[in-house]
């Protein structure tokens, strides 16, 4: 065979390989865009001046975080953990809720999740939306951002929904979990695993779960936001947004929540529904509900991908941006709209169907 013929064949082969690679890259790009593109428009530019309601909410959140994150509180510090649980239980009771204790044993100690429910006015018991956060801190940290911010947000949402009432087409269950942090993370003794499996065992019709996780740190500095590759090609480099993170089967849930949040909050927001093998996608209590076969997502500032004090002694209350945290919480409750109350949850309860996924 002549050299010219060999060269021609090699050229044709290279063209075919190049075409295949281009097609694969095109499909990969399309897939990434499909799970990262969210409805509505994220807020850009300066935030509007804080309203009096937002300022009051920020102060309320600050007070909760100061109490919850006064010291390290976890299985290694059981007295401090009990003090936080007692505070949370007292707060929920002061809003007029009967508080359900979900007690379980972990490493010989009896600990508890705390649960309150706002029943639907129209179909009580037929559809459930769960909103939860863990109240324990990681080893050697007081846990102000992780996760006193999420816990304080649950308290604020529970208080607001109790006082306003709900027109949601589902019961709204607020849960505060213990034992999310290591050594219990992703074990049967993880508080949210106990709760999710309990719901599954009795066939509870959960239509959505929102995990509020590490929500209070924001920065407009270039490069302040990190991502696992290749997500850094599709999201902002400034960590000034709140993120809604779901796994791929719950793309529809992520889009519904982001759409509702953006329609009620003048605050930067991003969303994604990615495979669980991407680090961070299932790093919170929503993983327990995914495992139980329920639709679930995480609301977060992205924790280790942004927060420089994550799981350190420096995760103290002074690191939290309470103004921005208040805006996020208000966005979750529907922009403080008194006429509809918790519009995000309301929208979820109307549109999300019970997952048909098989529990993993």
**pLDDT value at 348 more than 80:** no
The answer for residues whose C-beta is within 8 angstroms of residue 17's C-beta and 6 or more apart is none
Instruction: Give tens-digit pLDDT for 184-219.
Output: 999 999 999 999 999 999 999 999 999 999 999 999
Q: Is 177 helix (H, G, I), strand (E, B) or coil?
A: strand
**What does the pLDDT read at residue 4?**
63
**pLDDT value at 344 more than 60:** no
Instruction: Give tens-digit pLDDT for 258-280.
Output: 999 999 899 999 999 999 999 99
Distance of CA 141 to the CA centre of its chain: 21
The answer to which of 30-34, 296-300, 350-354 has the lowest mean pLDDT is 350-354
| Strand segments (E) across 60-161 | 100-106, 109-118, 128-134
How many whole angstroms separate alpha carbon 275 and alpha carbon 260? 23
Instruction: Name the pLDDT band for 7 (thresholds 50, 70, 90).
Output: low
Instruction: Give tens-digit pLDDT for 217-232.
Output: 999 999 999 988 777 7
Q: How far is CA 198 from CA 61, 104, 280, in A?
A: 30, 11, 25
Q: What is the mean pLDDT of residues 163-185?
A: 86
Report residue 355 as tokens: 């997952």
**What does the pLDDT read at residue 235?**
86
Between these two residues, 4 and 119, which has the higher pLDDT value?
119
How many whole angstroms separate alpha carbon 322 and alpha carbon 208? 27
**What does the pLDDT read at residue 34?**
53
Report which of 114, 275, 94 is spatially closest to residue 179, judged by C-alpha positions: 114
CB atoms within 10 A of CB 247: 26
Instruction: Name the pLDDT band for 307 (thresholds 50, 70, 90).
Output: very high
Q: Give the relative orientation of helices 322-332 and 343-351 as an angle to the nearest 10 degrees.
A: 40
Instruction: Name the pLDDT band for 35 (thresholds 50, 70, 90).
Output: low
How many whole angstroms separate alpha carbon 286 and alpha carbon 180? 11
The answer to which of 79-88, 173-182, 340-349 has the lowest mean pLDDT is 340-349
**pLDDT value at 22 more than 90:** no
Instruction: Give tens-digit pLDDT for 121-165.
Output: 777 778 899 999 999 999 999 999 999 999 999 999 999 988 665
Average pLDDT, the chain: 87
**pLDDT value at 306 more than 80:** yes
In the chain, the percentage of residues whose pLDDT exceeds 70 is: 81
**What does the pLDDT read at residue 170?**
84
Instruction: Name the pLDDT band for 351 (thresholds 50, 70, 90).
Output: very low
């Amino acid at each position: 065979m002549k050299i010219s013929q060999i060269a021609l064949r090699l050229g044709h082969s290279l063209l075919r390989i190049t075409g295949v690679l281009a097609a694969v890259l095109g499909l990969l790009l399309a897939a990434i865009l499909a799970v990262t593109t969210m409805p509505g428009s994220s807020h850009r530019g300066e935030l509007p001046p804080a309203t009096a309601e937002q300022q009051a909410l920020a102060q309320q959140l600050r007070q909760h975080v100061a109490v919850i994150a006064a010291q390290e509180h976890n299985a290694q510090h059981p007295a401090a953990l009990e003090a936080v649980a007692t505070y949370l239980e007292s707060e929920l009771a002061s809003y007029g809720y009967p508080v359900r204790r979900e007690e379980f044993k972990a490493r010989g100690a009896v600990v508890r999740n705390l649960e309150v429910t706002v029943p639907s006015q129209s179909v009580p018991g037929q559809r459930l939306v769960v909103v939860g956060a863990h109240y324990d801190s990681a080893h050697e940290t007081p846990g102000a951002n992780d996760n006193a911010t999420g816990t304080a947000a649950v308290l604020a949402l529970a208080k607001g929904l109790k006082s306003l009432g709900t027109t949601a087409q589902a019961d709204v269950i607020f849960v505060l979990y213990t034992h999310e942090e290591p050594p219990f993370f992703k074990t049967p003794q993880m508080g949210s695993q106990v709760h999710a499996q309990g719901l599954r065992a009795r066939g509870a019709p959960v239509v959505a779960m929102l995990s509020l996780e590490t929500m209070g740190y924001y920065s407009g500095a270039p490069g302040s936001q990190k991502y696992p590759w290749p997500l850094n090609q599709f999201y902002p480099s400034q960590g000034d947004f709140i993120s809604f993170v779901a796994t791929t089967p719950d793309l529809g849930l992520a889009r519904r929540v982001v759409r509702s949040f953006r329609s009620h909050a003048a605050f930067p927001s991003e969303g994604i529904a990615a495979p669980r093998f991407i680090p961070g996608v299932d790093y919170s209590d929503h993983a327990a509900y995914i495992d139980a076969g329920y639709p679930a997502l995480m609301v977060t500032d992205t924790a280790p991908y942004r927060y420089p004090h994550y799981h350190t002694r420096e995760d103290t209350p002074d690191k939290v941006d309470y103004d921005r945290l208040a805006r996020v919480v208000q966005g979750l409750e529907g922009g403080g709209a008194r006429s509809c109350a918790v519009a995000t949850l309301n929208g979820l309860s109307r549109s999300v169907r019970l997952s048909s996924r098989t529990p993993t």
